[in-house]
Amino acid sequence: MSTDSKIPGVEIPYAEQERRAHVIYEAKIRPKMTPSDEDKYVLIDILTGDYEIGENEAVLTRLLRERRPEAVMHCIHRHQSRFGRVRSPHRLRKTEESR
């Protein structure tokens, strides 16, 4: 897996993607997780904080991509330390390029 996200106009190092995903997960998502969410995937758009929780990564990717076509996504598997960028085309608006 590449260490950098190659997004037209913006380059977000993998370590920064991972850091952002962890911050969003710990602050916004983890407090809402229940025991029934164990062994589920959490797909996070690290640019907006939007996310999906479910059992199928492909379905979550489709759902989040429908709402956030320009998302930069990271996937967490609940109770495992697996992070990985979901490979998909990324586009950013000019406003995002200034970050």
pLDDT given for residue 79 in this prediction: 59
pLDDT at 78: 72
| Tokens representing residue 19 in the block | 């850091």
Identify the pLDDT of residue 20.
Answer: 94
pLDDT at residue 63, as a whole number: 97
Task: Note down pLDDT in tens along the chain; length 99 residues.
Answer: 344 454 555 678 888 998 999 999 999 999 998 888 888 999 999 999 999 999 999 999 999 999 999 899 999 887 544 444 444 444 444 334 444
Going from N- to C-terminal start, the domains of the chain cover 4-87
- Local structure of residue 50 (DSSP, 8 states): -
